[in-house]
Structure 1
Amino acid sequence: MPQLEVDGAALTYDDEGPRDGAGGVPLVFVHGWTANRHRWDHQVAHFSKTRRVIRLDLRGHGESGGAGVKTVAELAKDVLALLDHLGVDRFVIVGHSMGGMISQTIALDHPERVERMVLVNSIGRMAYNRGRGLLMALSTLVPYKLFVATNIQRAFAPGYPREEIRAYVKSSGDTPREVVMTLYGAMRAFDVLDRAGEIRTPTLMIHGYHDIQLPVKQMLRMAKAYPDATVRIIDAGHELPVEKPAELTAALDAFLTTPAPASPTSSSATAGERSGQA
C-alpha cells in the first residue's frame, strides 16, 4: 500500500501489472465522490494480468489523507502528480462520476498525455430544472449522515441488494464531512460542456440507464459535442462499477482493443445498445 505525499496529503495508490508496455500504455482508474479505489477491483484484477494498472484514493477519500481541496481541477493535479512520480507520461484514463470530471479536466489541459478516455456515469455539466436545483441545495441542510445515506441509496438501480447498499453508505459516511460537502459543491460548479469539442481523444461514454444522479440524457448531450465518442448504455444505476462489474470490464476491453481512427475530423457519437434490454 504505497503512498505519495502531495501538498500535505498522503495519497494511497496501487500500481500493478507488467511494466514492459506489451499490453499498451498504463490504465489509470479514478473513482468518484465519497468512494475509493476499490470501486475498480473487478477491472484491476482483469487488466493487471496484461498491462500496467494504476489507481488511487483521491485526497480525503479511502486511505488517503488530506482535505481543503475545493475544485475538480485540484484533484486532477493530484492525479497528475502521482503519474509524474511513477514516470507515466501517456496513459488511458478511466473515471467514474466525479472521476470522469477529473478525467475530462486532464484531457483538456494535457491532451498529449491521454491516449484514450473512458467516462463512466459522468457528464460535462450538471444541469437541472429550478425545482431539482432547489432540492439539491436544500439537501445540504439535513444532518450529514442522512445527506450521505440519501445520495448513496438513490445511486443504485432498483433491486440492488440492500445489505450491499448499506455497506456503501457506511463507507461513504466515513469520508470527512468537509471533503464530502466541498466536493459536492465542486461537482455542481463543474462545467466543461462548452469545451467538449476540444477533446479529440477517442472516448467511451458508458452509462447506467437508471442513473438518476447524472441522467443519461445529460451524458448524451455531451456526447454530441465530442468529435470521437462511443456511447454504451447498460441496465444499471449510477454505481455501474459495482452494480455490473463484468459488463463494464467487457465494454472497456472491447473499447481498448478497437483501433482508434488516426485523425477524427467530424463531430459524431455512436449510439450504443442498452445492454440487457436490446
Structure 2
Amino acid sequence: MDKIKSFDQKELVYKDEGQGIPIILLHGLNGNLAGFYNLAAELKTQYRVITYDLRGHGKSSRPDVYHLSDHIGDLKAIMRHLGICTAHLVGHEMGGMVAREFTEQYPSRVLSLTLISSKRKAVVHGFTQLMIEHQEEIQGFNRSEAILILFPYIFKEQSRAMKWFQAQYLYHKATSEDNATASRTLYSISNSQAEQPTTIHVPTLVIDGKYDPLISDDDIDNHFTRVQKELFEYSGHAPHIEEPDHFLSFLTQFIDASHS
C-alpha cells in the first residue's frame, strides 16, 4: 500500500495493481479497501485496479469534519497522482454515492459507473429503519454491535459476508467516533444529491441484492440515460461478496461492452 497527500494535505492510503484500463473501487460506509481484496485480485489480471481508503475510513486521515466535496477532491487527487485521465468507477453503498457525484461533476473522466446497493435514500435511511424494526434485539448495543446482531437480516450469504466483514475489521478497527463522523457525512451526501439531481449519460450498471432490506427501488431511471439494472437472486446488501463469481462475470462484461 502507498500514501498520497490530498488537496488539503490529508493522507489517503491506496493500492494500485495490475495493468490496462483503470478501474477504481470505492468501498461503503464504515468499510475500507480490504473489502475489495478478492474482487481486486480477480480484476487485476485484466485491468489496472485502484482501491483506497476513503477519507475518514481505514488508514486514511480521519478529520473531525468532512463533506462530499472532500471525497470528490480526494478521488481527483488519486487520479491525478496516478496519471489517470479516465476510469471505470465501481462503488458499493456510500462509495457508489461518491462515484455518482464525481460522475455528475466530471462525466468526461468516467468511462462507466457501477453502483452496488447504492440508492441514496435507502442507503441513508435503510439501516436506521432496520434498527427500529428490531429495536428489542439490539437494545443496549452500539451500531457496530447491532450490525452483527442484524447480520441475518442484511445478508443472504452470511458466511461470505462475515469473512468480508472480518477482513475489514482486521485491516483497521474504526472507533465509534469515526463511524459517527462518517454517518454524518453520508447524510450530507444524500441531501446534496437530492437537492441537485443531474442526468448521467455515461454507461451505468445498477446492481442490487434481492434480499437486501436496506435498498428499495426509487426514481433511478429518471437520472440515467444509459442504465442497466440487475437484481442478484441470492444476495443481500453485498452482491459482489455474496455472489462473487456472478458479479465478476457481469461486471467485466459490462465494462468490456462499454468500450464497444
TM-score, structure 1 normalization: 0.77
Taking the TM superposition and a 5 Å limit, the aligned residue runs for 1:38-49 are 38-49=34-45
Cross-structure match for 1:232: 230
Q: For residue 257 of structure 1, give the secondary structure of its aligned residue in structure 2.
A: helix
Q: Does structure 1 residue 160 correspond to structure 2 residue 158?
A: yes
> Which structure's residues are more often helix, by fraction?
2
Which SS does the other structure have where 1:122 is aligned?
coil
**CA 193–260 in structure 1, closer or farther in 2 if over 3 Å, else same:** farther
Higher relative contact order (CA 8 A, sep 6+): 2
Residues 1:252 and 2:248 aligned together? no
Worse overlay, 176-185 or 152-161 = 152-161
Q: Is contact 2:200–2:223 with CA below 8 Å preserved after alignment?
A: no
Q: Report Cα offsets for 1:182-223 as digits up to 9, x if no partner.
A: 22123234142565552111100011111122x1323xx313
Deviates more, 1:83-92 or 1:155-164: 155-164
Q: Distance in 2 between matches of 1:50 and 1:163?
A: 28
Cα 1:10/1:128, change in 2 over 3 Å: closer
TM-score (norm 2): 0.82
The aligned counterpart of 1:83 is: 79
Paired residue secondary structure (1:14): strand
Counterpart of 2:64, as a letter, is G
Residues 1:26 and 2:22 are matched in the alignment: yes
Task: Kindly indicate whether the alpha-carbon contact (under 8 Å) linking 1:152 and 1:169 is maintained by their aligned counterparts in 2.
Answer: no
In the aligned structure 2, how far is the partner of 1:172 from the partner of 1:239?
A: 19
- Secondary structure at the residue paired with 1:201? coil
1:175 maps to a residue whose letter is A
CA distance in 2 between partners of 1:166 and 1:26 (Å): 26
Task: Give me the whole-angstrom Cα distance separating, in 2, the residues matched to 1:13 and 1:195.
Answer: 30
Shift in alpha-carbon separation, 1:223–1:135, aligned structure 2, 3 A: same
> 1:134 Cα shift?
9.8
| 1:1-278 map, 5 Å | 1-6=1-6, 7-18=8-19, 23=20, 25-126=21-122, 132=129, 135=132, 146-151=142-147, 153-154=149-150, 156-158=154-156, 160-161=158-159, 164=163, 167=166, 170=169, 174-189=173-188, 190-191=190-191, 192-193=193-194, 196=197, 198-213=199-214, 215-218=215-218, 221-234=219-232, 235-259=234-258
Unaligned runs of at least 5 residues, structure 1: 262-278
Give aligned-pair identity as a percent. 23
Whole-angstrom distance in 2 between the partners of 1:107 and 1:9:
23
Give the length in aligned residue pairs.
249
Show the counterpart of 1:267: none
Cα contact 1:29–1:54 (8 A) shared by 2: yes
Instruction: State the Cα RMSD in Å.
Output: 3.2
Change in Cα spacing, 1:168 to 1:152, as seen in structure 2 (3 Å) is: farther
Q: Distance in 1 between matches of 2:74 and 2:198?
A: 25
CA distance in 2, matches of 1:106, 1:166: 27
When residues 259 and 186 of structure 1 are mapped into structure 2, their CA distance, relative to the original with a 3 A threshold, is closer
Change (3 A) 1:164 1:48: closer
Question: Aligned AA for 2:108?
Answer: E
**1:38-68 C-alpha deviation (Å, 9 max, x unpaired):** 2112221122112211110112322223323
TM superposition shift of 1:245: 1.9
Return closer, same or farther for 1:256/1:172 CA change in 2, 3 Å cut-off: same
Offset at 1:148? 1.5
